[in-house]
Amino acid sequence: MAFRTEPKHTHGSSASTAIVLVNLGTPDAPNAPALRRYLGQFLSDPRVVEIPRAVWWFILNGVILPFRSSKSAEKYASIWTEQGSPLRVHTERQAAALGAQLAARGHHQLQVVHAMRYGSPSLPQVLDQLKQQGCTRILVLPAYPQYSGTTTASIFDAVFDHYRKVRNIPELRLIRNYHDQDGYIQALRQSVLDHWEVNGRPDKLVMSFHGVPKRTLELGDPYHCECYKTARLLAQSLGLNDEQYLVTFQSRFGKAEWLQPYTAPTVQALGRQGVRRIDVMCPGFTSDCLETLEEIAMEVKDEFLHAGGKEFHFIPCLNESPAWIAGMVEIVEQHLAGWPTMSNAAAREQMAQDAAISAERAKALGAPQ
Ligand SMILES: C=CC1=C(C)c2cc3[nH]c(cc4nc(cc5[nH]c(cc1n2)c(C)c5CCC(=O)O)C(CCC(=O)O)=C4C)c(C)c3C=C
Ligand SMILES: [Fe+2]
Ligand SMILES: [Fe+2]
């Protein structure tokens, strides 16, 4: 095997660090050819569909891509913005805001870029660019709080595959999950409280996570467990009892059984049972995307209202909310520990400021409402 030619080595160049925020990816345009390219790459990943390759090749190319591409394109068209796909727009903004916030906290020689697992900018493209710029430390931050073999592990595969062809490999750190980290839970809590402050409270809060095949749970994937832990911590932080919230799984794909309870039938049952108002949020998605803006905020909403529900609210994803940028800072700083991105003086000053903010937060949480 031939290894890639390295950029010219220069003595004395100071090492620099990059954080790569990696999201799933999204089509380049809301039309059938773009969807075919995107879905073709996504659904060919053996982490995503675990069916023998030869059999799957015929199903994918003979049935799924010809039929699903145009249907999915229509759905994407309904959420497309002037700036492009919402998932892309939010991911770009998150990376820019995280970089700016880290710089404001005194980190230097540290850049934040984004990459997509499927589509562009591709991980190999972005990792190559970082090498050209002389980056010798890379922290990979998947956009998924809950670990799943179908998503997180697929990003790790792509990173490892890329570096198999590289002679001079940078120092690498991979964030596996952050489903129970305070920065993430507090950002979710804030998003719910912000919504409730303007709109009042629902009869039930539905936390809808992206589903995965049930078989992955039986084979030892921790995703299901991590979704429930996120939900429990969030409910606790909001002071909700077991009657006031529920966990569901959405976006089932294919004929096999996926994690249950499924979002759509659960919400319909709530409507039929006379539950007046539900608020649905999607804590497993850090950016709004097709699955939240179309499937939840349009389709599931209609299903609830048709089943007799009176009021439906979708609570937007974390996107680039200040609480989530602060949460990401907290998460990445734990993983940057030991890397020289901050002077000792700046680190001490930041620690003192953070301690003061934590004390304020604890006081606010403890105060009677
Ligand atoms: C949040 C985590 C996600 C998991 C886990 C996940 C698993 C998973 N997804 C599919 C199939 C599809 N997913 C699609 C869209 C999509 N999925 C996620 C996230 C997770 N997927 C996001 C953020 C998005 C939206 C992307 C966007 O551009 O907005 C799609 C494409 C849309 C469609 O045609 O319906 C498919 C297909 C499988 C099979 C799977 C686990 C096995
Ligand atoms: Fe998905
Ligand atoms: Fe969907």
The ligand 1 atom nearest the CA atom of 143 = 1
- Candidate from 225, 253, 255, 258 with most ligand 1 atoms within 8 A of CB, to mutate: 253
- pTM score of the predicted model: 0.94
- Which mean pLDDT values do the consecutive 10-residue runs of the chain (369 residues) have? 82 82 98 98 97 96 96 98 98 98 94 97 96 95 98 98 96 98 98 98 98 97 98 98 98 94 98 98 98 98 98 98 98 94 77 80 64
Give the number of whichever ligand sits closest to the CA of residue 65. 1
In this structure, what are the phi and psi dihedrals at residue 210, rounded to the nearest 5 degrees? -65, 135
Domain covering 16-178+324-340 assigned CATH 3.30.1490.390 in the classification: no
Q: Contact 110/103 with Cβ under 8 angstroms?
A: yes
CB 141 within 8 A of CB 329: no
At 124 the pLDDT is 96
DSSP 3-state assignment of 362? helix
User: Taking a C-beta distance cutoff of 8 angstroms, is the pair 308, 84 a contact?
Assistant: no
Q: Is 295 annotated as a binding residue?
A: no
Answer yes or no: CATH 3.55.40.20 is held by domain 182-315: no
Q: Which residues line ligand 1 (CB under 6 A)?
A: 24, 26, 39, 48, 68, 72, 85, 87, 144, 148, 150-151, 210, 212-213, 251, 253, 284-285, 289-291
β-strands 16-23, 135-142: how paired? parallel
Residues in the chain: 369
Sign (positive/negative) of CA torsion 294, 186, 17, 171? negative
pLDDT for the residue numbered 14: 66
Please list, in sequence order, all residues whose beta carbon lies within 8 angstroms of the beta carbon of residue 159, skipping any fewer than 6 positions away: 123, 127, 140, 172, 174
Query: For residues 245 and 210, what is the distance between their CA atoms, to the nearest angstrom?
Result: 17
Q: CB-side exposure of 249: number of CA atoms within 13 Å?
A: 17
Closest listed ligand to the CA of 150: 1
Distance 212 CA to ligand 1 centre (A): 9
| Amino acid 369: pLDDT | 41
Please state the separation of Cα 274 from the chain's center in Å: 33
Q: Which residues of 77-86 are buried (b: 16+ CB within 10 A; e: fewer)?
A: eebbeeeebb
What 8-state DSSP symbol labels residue 64?
A: I
Contact indicator for 360, 207 with CB cutoff of 8 Å: no
Determine the distance separating the centroid of ligand 1 and the alpha carbon of 127, expressed in angstroms: 24
Domain ranges of the chain: 16-178+324-340, 182-315
Q: Which atom of ligand 1 is nearest to the CA of 216?
A: 42
Straight-line distance from the first to the last Cα atom of the chain, in angstroms, rounded to the nearest whole number: 65
Q: Whose CA is nearest to atom 16 of ligand 1?
A: 291
16-178+324-340 shares its CATH topology with 182-315 = yes
In ligand 1, which atom is closest to the CA atom of 209?
1
Tell me, in angstroms, the distance from the centre of ligand 1 to residue 66's CA: 18
Give me ligand 1 centre to Cα 218, in Å: 20
Structure tokens at 333: 């700083």
Q: Which two tokens stand for residue 152?
A: 């997180």
Strand partners, 84: 81
DSSP state for residue 143 in the 8-state scheme: S
Contact (CB, 8 A) for 177 and 143: no
CA of 208, nearest ligand number: 1
Probe ligand 1: pick from 179, 210, 294, 299, max atoms within 8 Å of CB? Answer: 210
pLDDT score at 367: 53
> What does the buried/exposed string (b/e) look like for 142-168 if buried means 16 or more CB atoms within 10 Å of the residue's CB?
bbbbbbbbbbbebbbbbbeebbeeeee
With a threshold of 0.85, tell me whether the complex ipTM lies above it.
Answer: yes
Q: How far is the CA of 210 from the centre of ligand 2 (A)?
A: 7
List the one residue out of 24, 6, 17, 23 whose CA is nearest residue 172: 17
- Return the best residue to mutate from 21, 24, 67, 223 for the ligand 1 pocket (most ligand atoms within 8 A of CB): 24
Question: CA-CA distances (angstroms) from residue 353 to 12, 138, 205, 334, 359?
Answer: 34, 27, 34, 16, 10
Q: Is 226 labelled a binding residue?
A: no
